[in-house]
Chains A and B, each alone.
Chain A
Amino acid sequence: MKNSKSSMLRRCLAVVVMVLVLVSCFATSASALEVQNEPYDTYTIWTGYGSTITASQRPVYEYLTTVNGHSLNISSLKEPGDICTDTAGNVYITDSSNGRIVVLNPDFTLKREIKNLTYQGEAIDITGSLGAYAHTDGKLYIADTQHARVVVCTPEGVVEDLLVLPEADVIPSDFQFMPKRIAIDSKGYKYIVSEGSYYGAILYGPDNEFLSFYGSNTVTASLTDAFKRLVDMLFSSDVKQQNDLKSLPFQFTDIAVDDKDFIYTATGASNIYKADPGQLKKLSPGGVNVLKDKTGKVVTSSNSLQFSDAYRSIRAASSTNRVSSIATLTIDKRGFMYAADETYGRVYIYDQNCNPIAVFGGGTGSATQKGMSSVVSSMALGKNGEVILLDRVTGCIQIYKITEYGKLLLDAQELTITGAYVEAQPLWDEVLKLDRNCQLAYRGLAKAALINKDYDLACEYAKIGLDQDTYASAFEYVRADIITENFTVMIIVAVVLIAGVAALIYVSRKKQIVLVRNKQVKLMFSSILHPFQIFNKIRYEGEGSIMLACIILVFFYVGTFIKSVYGGFMYHIFDKTTFNSFIVLLGSVGLVILWVVCNWGMSTLFEGKGKAKHIFIVTCYSLIPYTAYLFIYTLLSNFVVPDEALILTVIYYVCFGLTAIMFCIGIMTVHEFGFGKFVGITAISVVAMLVVVFIIFMVSILVQQFGSFFVTVYNEVKYR
């Protein structure tokens, strides 16, 4: 009766635990309090966590006005391709299907329309033009895509020159010149992006002479691609191989030049299933990407950085996939990069270190509200820093002006990335007052506090801002201060502790006091130093305790868990939103159980003598050193700075090595295997584990699909 009650209790507890564990997968709730001034969300992206976290933000830009054919009292813009501004702030809109350039004053009122162009007495039709560029020399360059030329004219529309594809050996004979975007640097070098060209931009010199192709994207091949290629090489005929599609680099969607004559390129998504990394690049004169991602601890090339925030392709209501794709970019005088995502109609602002500053705008293919874009085709900056977005579908131009907060934020970040941390501090203080969700402010203030030698404050800010480097630098001083202030006490405590332990050992030996009385516990701990002896006892004398093995397993799980949750901030950032204790459970306890089952099964087939109980006990006993490491790591990682991380590495290798040795000895002993057979059976067991995991995976998918099928059928029946 008692047993049944306790069994019931255990079951209930197990159910409760499982439910709680599963609940951990659920997202947190948002509240009833909402801010809603604009039809779109304005937010920032917190970096540092494993996943991207979006946070509401005080707007950096706010909606100013919408310009379209109605507001200008001209016929509606039809599939406008590009927008640019000149040094005076006049805005040039390439109205592709109407074959005209609409020129606006800096205050976005109509200035003129450039149409019915002529050159040397002949009419110049610019219908189908996809781009235009207003150069500092006062000339307007129109990328006349359909007519394979660049029209050079005055802002009033007087054509002065036509730029066509030159004859050069490097240009393939089948190359189709369809200019769509133009950028010209201060020395007059012209970079022309041609529709469908994967060779990079076409570079013309100041005298319009062709120089070369410039800065093409590269193709990255995955392991799967390489494997597929190998299979093709081995098994496909030459004809089939020739007919296979080649992976070509993706073309640029936009090109821009900054005040220092660096060229920036945008590359959209290459397919509908994933948003490619590295969609923004800053090219050196040699065409190499020099844009660095300094958002995390490790500095890498922006080639691997996922710009925008919707990384994954999602299934939209229209049953099509939707993927973030940067269609256009522009650079302001201070080097801040503005990139617009044509899919979502959003603008992303980044600094030169690729820190996301702000995200605003929206539309996602449906723009019936002001400030929203259906499909963004181009972007420019106005005279007063306004962001001007051109919508290819609606023919509307959405204009956003910078807010006071935005000015403050950009000023502060500019100072911070140039190293003027102290000068930036008062600005960051102001920023934080207006927006507590500003991660950059915490990072900037942490750096300023570090310079100001306020290390506690620096740690505090760095921790909120998820800035591990600054935290580590400040913590070193904090730790030194703690040690200096408490040196005497610490020495006394250490001496007392050592003396105490020594005394305990001495007394216990002299008086033959047994510290650990329980035989099984003693056996368990002895297995670390005498694995052969103890595992033989387990195998042949039936020693070893399942309960203790289970307790070790529990400690192993707890250790794995606390390492993730309470590990030092300098090494690891814990993200509650993605942490799943169920996965941790599977990765620790589940793995051990799977191993025991598979190894037992396989070894039975290959004359292994060990019972499942033995395998379980030795596996768990072997985990003692590694489990100890998990706790030691959790403790030390909170005190050891990354410069001293060698200590943690040494402890890891020692503990892991010890675990590995115990494990090998244990398994060999219980099965009575030689080393060679042990390796073989272990490999087979690992394969079996993979097969089991695969089967579980397949079954769960099958169950899910069946469930989905039945739900669909039920819905179909019910709704009809």
Chain B
Amino acid sequence: MNKRLIKALCFICCLSLMLSVLSACGSSSGSKEDKKPYLTGTTTNVESTVGLAENDKFRLDWDAEVANVTITDKATGYVYSQIPLDYLNANRELLTVVNNSYDPEVPIPDYVPDEKSVQLYSPMFINTVMIATDASATLYASVDAYKRGRVGSEKIDGGIRVTYYFDTYQMSVPVDYTITEEGFNMSVVPTDIIEGMKDYYVLSVGLSPMMCSVKNDAGNYVIVPSGSGALMYTDSRGDGTPRTFSGEVYGDDPAVEVYEKLSNKEESRLPVFGAVEGNRAVCAIIESGAEKAVINAQVGDASLGLSSAYVTCFVRGYNRPVSTILAGRIRIRTHVQDALVADEPITVSYHVLSGDQASYSGIAKYYREWLVKNKGMKTSAEGELLYAQVAGGFETDELFLGLPYKDTRALTTYGEATEIAKKLYEISGGSMVLNMVGFGTTGVSYGEVGGGFDLTGASGGKKALKKFLSACEEIGISPFFNFDVVRFKSASSGLGETAVTANNAAAKQYVYDRSTKLRQTSNYHYLLQRAELGKAVKKAMKVVNKYDIPGIALDSLGSIAYSDYVQGDYYNKAGMAAQVTELFGTIRESEKSILTNQANDYAAVISDVILDVPTGSNMNVSIDKDVPFYQMVFKGYVDIANEAINTATNSRVQFLHAMETGTGLSFVLTEDYTDETVLAGEAVFYATVFEDNVDTITEMVNEAKAYLTAVKSAKISAHSNPTNTVSKTVFDNGVSVYVNFGDSEVTVENVKIPANDFVALGEGGTVIG
């Protein structure tokens, strides 16, 4: 009997082991049987046509010989071409599509490309990964489809679908080009991509790198949405080597493992970019599938003579799992998800602007109007003078007879928060926003989902909370309470399922060591499974309703876009915008105000208040100038405030950034300080004590009060930099402000601006304040 049992157990073990191994193999090698077969033979093509699609403003032409799509702006006659026309005309023979008939048995013709044409003069390219060897390769249409493969085309409504066949790896990628009333669109449907060879996968697709290009000249520039927004001037400098930028829209995917974090960076929050050349500009908006897109730019390459910005989009999820192999060696490999991302198309729309709109101010204006029209953004919002984020506490390690336990140390109790609120109310004259952060079970430290959905703990019990809320009501403040519903360390309240990476592991977010830059293997938190976000928001709303709190803050939900490979709809961050929009919509229905921090566009348009708006870019060496593009888009539409002044590198500069865009003054505050924050590795509390900051807050509020009141509901009409150190912002109510970031007094347009100061002028040119 026993022997039988043992045998049976052994058999079950072996079977399950085999099954797990086989299923693991299956998940990576991919079962492509259900996909369409790769097309052999010859392709069908639309003949070269002028006016293949046309409307009042634009005309789409198709040049079948070189497989080039051009769009002509009828008003100006300017032609937007996938392959720059000058180059195309001079190298037509080089770019002619061979269009051989493909037979897998016949070797693919050899072709030595002209290096210059390969990369950027190609209408599209794909990045591929070979699963077995982890080797990646980039295939350019101009070589691998034109010469070693084929190009097919078919007319579609409003344009043309061009399919690029890369015979070498048996991959085909169809791209739709259509014209619209404002310009033109490019679109890829990931599930239409065909991969005919086992083990060779398409990872991402680059769309028309030169379509949004401008000539290399110091007056022209490309705008990228890095952080607040940034300009890259297109002149060739020095030895004319290119300067490049690349940024994933909504930031790097947290579900992709990172072994070492060598730097901090501001993420790209808006799916928009553009290029400006003299009187002409293009505003490109990633209308759908933005979560999967990367915005790239290259400028100043003397050998090309052109600079451009373009999109590459991931069509499949991936991870870079880190494994420690023998002798402590680190191995990082790319694990590519078998399935392509959901069939939501990745669409980039290019909007042609001219005249006054041909500037980054014009692009900002155009984009916000687009948000109003297409994303339902409100058309007005009043700003406040002061934005305070009061932190409740943090988690510390304590010992009881040598036995460690976690405890939450309060830095601000509800009673103290009441006093802070009263004082701030007095300073600001009532024009303030109060956001309570870290009042859950573990304070600001990562703990349970949504801080355990419990606002009574180290900072005070129910009674204290209610007293605080009634005091706020009495004063006239409507506080927000923050709930981190995305990041957590331990399960609670029935929530605790983690999001999963592309290689089926729990998505962990590590804390990185300040000095070694490596991740601390025992210090991490998780991301909540995407499907559970709705449940978490509901629980947060329940707490908010229970205590009748006027506003809910969802810092992480509005700013973190992440993948979850539990469900196909969430691969490669897919559907994050739609999901957050839906969740915020439910909050809206309950008539609660919403506050977000560093909000991505989809969360920003539906928020009442956005805090921690970045004031700079990711400081890429190729960036020439940071501009407050984000603020230009949202000021006057959503109540916004920049990153906190008191914890900034330079508080005065941070104050001036607020003046530059007429946004309120933001501070992070606590009542208390303890050196235990040093041991706990907390980063912000060195400068947050209210007592240390109250004088500065009073001075700054008094200094800015008149001006901020004058522009509290104004929208930004224009922004410029008359000199290297001075910025000028014009609001739609006629108020303008000059901000001097330099260390010496400057006179601009007859306005004398003291060093490190600002001058605001009313409609008639009178100085405000």
Mask, A423-465, CB within 8 Å of B = 1, is 0000000001111111000000000000000000000000010
- The contact of B238 among A36, A57, A75, A709, by CB within 8 Å, is A75
Partner of B264, one of A20, A21, A38, A76: A38
Report the stretch among B144-152, B581-589, B677-685, B747-755 that lies at the interface: B677-685
Cα(A319)–Cα(B398), bound, Å: 36
Interface assignment of A660: CB less than 8 Å from any CB of chain B: no
Q: How far is the CA of A438 from the CA of B668 in the complex (A)?
A: 19
Tell whether, in the assembled complex, residue B619 and residue A436 are in contact, meaning their CB atoms are under 8 Å apart.
no
- With A369-B263, A433-B692, A719-B321 given, is the CB distance from A29 to B556 under 8 Å? no
A35-B683, A38-B619, A558-B401 given as contacts; is B323 within 8 A of A53 (CB)? no
**Chain A nearest CB, measured from B536 CB (Å):** 15
Q: Are B679 and A316 in contact (CB under 8 A)?
A: no
Known contacts A76-B239, A315-B329, A433-B692, A39 near B650 by CB under 8 Å: no
Contacts of B438 in A (CB 8 A): 31-33
Task: Enumerate A19-36 residues with CB–CB distance to B below 8 Å.
Answer: 20-21, 23-36
**A584 to B489, alpha carbons, bound, how many Å?**
28
CB-CB < 8 A to B673: which residues of A? 436
In the bound complex, do residue B262 and residue A366 qualify as a contact, i.e. CB atoms below 8 Å apart?
A: yes
Of B523, B556, B679, B686, the residue contacting A58 (CB under 8 A) is: B686
A322 to B679 CA separation, bound complex (whole angstroms): 25
Q: How far is the CA of A717 from the CA of B643 in the complex (A)?
A: 46
Asked if residues A31 and B399 are in contact (CB atoms below 8 Å), the reply is: no
Q: Distance (Å) between the CB of A68 and the closest chain B CB?
A: 8
Contact with A along B376-418 (1 / 0, CB 8 A): 0000000000000001001111110111110000000000000
Assuming A70-B237, A464-B675, is B515 touching A717 (CB within 8 A)?
no
B679:A53 contact, CB within 8 angstroms: yes
Selected from A41, A56, A362, the residue in CB contact (under 8 A) with B686 is A56
Q: Is B484 part of the contact surface with A, judged by Cβ < 8 Å?
A: yes
Of B239, B402, B447, B692, which contacts A557 at CB under 8 A? B402
Closest B residue to A46 using CB positions: B678
Contact between B684 and A40, CB atoms less than 8 A apart:
no
- The segment out of B276-284, B307-315, B331-339, B704-712 that lies at the interface is B331-339
Interface string of A339-365 (1 = CB under 8 A from B): 000001000000000000000001111
Say whether B616 contacts A29, CB under 8 Å. no
Chain B residue numbers with a CB within 8 Å of A33 are: 391, 437-438, 444, 668, 682-684
| B464 lies within 8 A of chain A by Cβ | no
Whether the Cβ atoms of B396 and A28 lie closer than 8 Å is: yes
Q: Is the CB of B324 within 8 A of A708?
A: yes
Picked from B398, B446, B675, the residue with its CB within 8 Å of the CB of A31 is: B446
Contact A20 B401 (CB under 8 A): no
Interface window among B22-30, B87-95, B353-361, B761-769? B22-30
B394 / chain A contacts, CB cutoff of 8 Å: 31
In whole angstroms, how far apart are the Cα atoms of A578 and B427 in the complex?
Answer: 44
B132 touching A720, Cβ below 8 Å: yes
CA–CA, A26 to B686, complex, Å? 24
Q: Is the CB of A38 within 8 A of B445?
A: no
- The reply on A532 being an interface residue by CB < 8 A is no
Roughly how many angstroms separate A34 CA and B517 CA in the complex, as a whole number? 16
Q: Which residues B231-259 have CB closer than 8 A to chain A?
A: 237-239, 241, 243, 259
CB–CB B403/A35 < 8 A: no
Q: Are A718 and B503 in contact, with the CB atoms below 8 A? A: yes
B650:A62 contact, CB within 8 angstroms: yes
Bound-state CA distance A667–B618 (Å) is 70
Cα of A319 to Cα of B649 in the assembled complex, Å: 34
**In the complex the two chains form, is B330's CB within 8 Å of A316's CB?**
yes
Q: In chain B, what residue has the closest Cβ to A316? A: B260
Q: Answer yes or no: A208 CB below 8 A from chain B CBs.
A: no
- Give chain B residues whose Cβ lies under 8 Å from the Cβ of A394: 621
Q: Whose C-beta in chain B lies nearest to the C-beta of A70? A: B237
Interface check A149, CB cutoff 8 A: no
Q: Is the CB of B404 within 8 A of A20?
A: yes
Select from chain A the residue with minimum beta-carbon distance to B615: A37
State whether the Cβ of B514 lies closer than 8 Å to any Cβ in chain A: yes
**Interface pair B649/A66, CB less than 8 Å apart:** no
- Contact A561–B401 (Cβ < 8 Å): yes
Within 22-45 of B, Cβ neighbours of A (below 8 Å) are at 24-25, 27-29
Query: In whole angstroms, how far apart are the Cα atoms of A70 and B504 in the complex?
Result: 45
Give the residues in chain B near A576, CB-CB below 8 Å. Answer: 397-399, 679
Contact indicator per residue, chain A 347-391, by CB within 8 Å of chain B (1) or not (0): 000000000000000111111111110000000000000000000
**Closest-CB distance, A472 to chain B (whole angstroms):** 19
Let me know if B522 and A579 touch, CB within 8 A: no
Counting chain B CB atoms within 10 Å of each CB, the highest count among A76, A403, A437 belongs to A437
Interface residues of A (CB under 8 A from B): 17, 20-21, 23-43, 46, 53-59, 62-63, 66, 68-76, 309-310, 312, 314-317, 319, 322, 344, 362-372, 394, 396, 403, 432-438, 464, 557-558, 561, 565, 575-577, 579, 581, 584-585, 705, 708-709, 711-712, 715, 717-720
Q: Would you list 26 pairs from A and B whose C-beta atoms are within 8 A, ordered by A residue?
A: A17-B403, A20-B403, A21-B402, A26-B522, A28-B395, A31-B438, A31-B682, A31-B684, A32-B437, A32-B556, A35-B683, A36-B264, A38-B619, A40-B263, A55-B686, A56-B684, A70-B243, A315-B329, A368-B621, A394-B621, A436-B687, A575-B679, A581-B399, A585-B402, A708-B326, A720-B131
Given contacts A29-B680, A35-B644, A719-B24, 11 further A-B contacts (CB under 8 A): A27-B523, A29-B445, A29-B446, A31-B445, A37-B643, A40-B263, A56-B684, A70-B243, A310-B516, A719-B321, A720-B29
Top 5 nearest A-B pairs by Cβ distance?
A: A581-B402, A24-B404, A31-B444, A437-B686, A69-B238
